[in-house]
């Protein structure tokens, strides 16, 4: 019987990301670091090249098995000692005695973490680029699809659906920039021993560290304690939380626009078999968008323990270790999944331009009050007077349940400022979109690659 208790095991997350954080892959990262350490020692003449070659040959999960590592850890109560002992058991000759030479456990662990970060954030970047492309395509397709803008949940002035999507696409672009910029600070390893002095490595400590990390294609921690400085991890967690928050923002917009009383967009729904409710047969719920929102809150919640992990006793304590076993894989796997699901929502989104037009009629022309005001100003009326006229006209239209056009026409008959054609033009939403198309074109030019 399956005894899984974590939803990542059976419900959320893509296989590719979960594989990166699997027990077997984590072991391989640790072995990669140990073999790189041996090669660095050999290059500097500290150990025989033959020993380094043997360690490198055996430092793979093809030879070193999780089962054996776990057996040793049960006895030693130390995970890295279990790895080094399991590896040394498999090495021919005296190669085993050179494994882990001069290193402390977190030289291996934190450097392996950096290898995980490198691989996993590449997937996140790819997912963000795919979502960006989806949003750019929607902004192109719906450049002229007019809809209501809304602030405070109220009707404002017209925008286009393409403008909304262009704004989302630019938000994704900024996240890609943040993730790229973060990598120079994130993909960092260390080989500096128990408290950062490199004492156990001798006079060549800095060169050994440099050689090991060049081999692994990682940067070097400038000044470490026993661990890589956790402000680096905090930056990643904040970026993941920021990305997830954007996904929740986008998903919340879909959920709101899918409300029955709005119905301007909707998540795709498999009509043949999908069920919306166990009791209400008519329901077509935005379940993927709701999942995105729920999981984004989990990612954000990891910021607090991540920051607390940065507060170490002296050169380090062990409080961060158990916490990070949850924080790091869950944050990255869930963020990738959230991005993937968001792309699915927007790629298959149902969009209803006719309903967008119809919803503009609900307020009986009130969203065009600003347009009318600017038209009056162009005809010579002062800005303050024009605003006051349209404010009173709008309130009167609401009070009498009349259209803005009806009430304004009554006022205009007294003032004789605008002709009928000018009134109609001012009340046409297509005429009051400002530089929307230019803004969208600028975004498309920048991001359509």
| Residues catalogued as catalytic | 152, 277
Strands (E) in 211-348, as ranges, are 219-220, 265-266
Q: Kindly report each contact of residues 183-187 with a partner whose C-beta sits within 8 Å and lies 24 or more positions away, as own/partner.
A: 183/118, 183/121, 184/219, 185/232, 185/235, 186/114, 186/117, 186/121, 186/232, 186/233, 186/235, 186/236, 187/114, 187/117, 187/118, 187/218, 187/219
Cα dihedral 187/176/298/274 (nearest 10): -130
**Nearest in space to 265 (alpha carbons), one of 348, 344, 339:** 348
Cα 330 from chain centre: 13
If DSSP states are collapsed to H, E and C, what string results for 24-45? HHHHHHHHHHHHHHHHHHHHCC
Whether the CB-CB separation of 205 and 198 falls below 8 Å is answered with: yes
Alpha carbon distance 104, 108 (integer Å): 7
Tell me if residue 155 falls in helix, strand or coil. Answer: strand
Token output for 102: 């001069």
* End-to-end CA separation in angstroms for the chain: 48
Any alpha helices (H) in 159-230, and if so which ranges?
161-186, 205-216
To which residue do tokens 């450097």 refer?
Answer: 111
CA distance 248 to 296: 6
CA angle 123, 126, 129 (to 5 degrees): 150
């Amino acid at each position: 019987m399956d005894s899984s208790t974590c939803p990542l095991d059976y419900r959320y997350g893509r296989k590719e990301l979960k594989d990166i954080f699997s027990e077997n892959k984590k072991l391989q990262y640790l072995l990669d670091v140990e073999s790189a350490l041996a090669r660095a020692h050999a290059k500097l003449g500290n150990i025989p090249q033959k020993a380094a070659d043997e360690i490198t040959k055996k430092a793979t999960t093809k030879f070193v098995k999780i089962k054996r590592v776990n057996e040793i850890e049960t006895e030693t109560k130390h995970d890295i000692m279990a790895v080094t002992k399991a590896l040394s058991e498999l090495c021919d000759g005296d190669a085993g005695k050179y494994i882990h030479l001069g290193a402390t456990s977190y030289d291996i662990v934190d450097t392996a973490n950096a290898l995980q970060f490198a691989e996993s954030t590449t997937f996140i970047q790819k997912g963000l680029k795919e979502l960006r492309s989806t949003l750019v395509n929607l902004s192109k397709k719906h450049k002229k699809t007019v809809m209501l803008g809304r602030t405070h949940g109220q009707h404002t002035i017209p925008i286009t659906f393409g403008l909304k999507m262009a704004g989302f696409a630019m938000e994704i672009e900024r996240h890609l920039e943040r993730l790229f910029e973060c990598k120079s600070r994130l993909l960092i390893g260390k080989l500096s021993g128990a408290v950062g002095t490199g004492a156990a490595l001798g006079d060549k400590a800095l060169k050994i560290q440099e050689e090991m990390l060049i081999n692994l294609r990682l940067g070097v921690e400038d000044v470490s304690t026993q661990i890589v400085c956790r402000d680096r991890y905090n930056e990643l967690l904040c970026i993941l939380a920021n990305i997830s928050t954007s996904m929740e923002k986008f998903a919340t917009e879909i959920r709101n626009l899918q409300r029955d009383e709005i119905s301007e967009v909707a998540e795709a729904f498999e009509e043949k078999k999908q069920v919306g409710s166990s009791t209400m047969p008519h329901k077509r719920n935005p379940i993927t968008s709701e999942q995105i929102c729920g999981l984004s809150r989990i990612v954000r919640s990891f910021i607090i323990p991540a920051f607390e992990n940065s507060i170490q006793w002296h050169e380090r304590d062990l409080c961060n270790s158990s916490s990070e076993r949850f924080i790091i894989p869950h944050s990255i796997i869930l963020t990738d999944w959230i991005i993937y699901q968001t792309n699915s929502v927007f790629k298959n989104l149902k969009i209803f331009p006719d309903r967008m037009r119809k919803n503009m009629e609900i307020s009986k022309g009130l969203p065009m009050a600003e347009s009318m005001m600017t038209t009056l100003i162009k005809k010579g009326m002062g800005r303050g007077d024009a605003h006051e006229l349209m404010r009173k006209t709008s309130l009167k239209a609401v009070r009498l349940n009349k259209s803005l056009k009806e009430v304004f026409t009554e006022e205009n008959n007294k003032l004789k400022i605008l002709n009928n054609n000018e009134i109609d033009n001012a009340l046409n939403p297509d005429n009051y979109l400002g530089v929307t198309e230019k803004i969208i074109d600028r975004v498309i030019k920048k991001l359509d690659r």
